[in-house]
Amino acid sequence: MRRTLIGVVLSAVLGYGVFSSVADSASEVASTHGGLPVGTFTGCPQQIRPLPRQLPQYEATVKSTALQFVRTGFLKYAQTPATELLGARVRRVLPVRDWGPSGWVKTECGLLVWKRSVTVLVYFRRLDKPHNPIGHCNACAQLTLLLARTDSGWLVWGRY
């Protein structure tokens, strides 16, 4: 079974572009349960490269890629007005394997994607309203993006 996946690649060097890849594995296709795995924008990433050994080697590029995605590609998925997403900042970057709720990545996308992806916690100051009528909401003002490195740059492939 063969399937083509299309995703958004954002790279500090290459700019905004389109990335396509082909999934040949029947297990990859079967894991999608008849559609895209929940939490992915266009399916599990394919043909991803290993992460550099040390986080500081890629942290700045990953942060800028995630924020560029929030300003551009994420707007079509967000149910929040664009003005509320202004002022977003990255709170934390870490490999998926060191991230608590990463089990679904391993189950849905496989061990290789789990090993080669990073999470970026994005905080939206304008969504963290102190006057929320139902009380403070920790999850309302943050988003975890999932990124992987490809030959074309960093791919923002999912969210949590």
pLDDT tens, 11-22? Answer: 333 333 323 232
Residue 100 neighbours by CB distance under 10 Å? 7
Which three-class secondary structure state does DSSP give residue 159?
strand
Helix (H) or strand (E) holding 155: strand 153-159
- Provide CB contacts within 8 A for 81, sequence distance 6+: none
**Quick one: pLDDT at residue 73?**
86
**Quick one: pLDDT at residue 139?**
75
pLDDT band at 128 (very low <50, low <70, confident <90, very high): confident
Local structure of residue 103 (DSSP, 8 states)? H
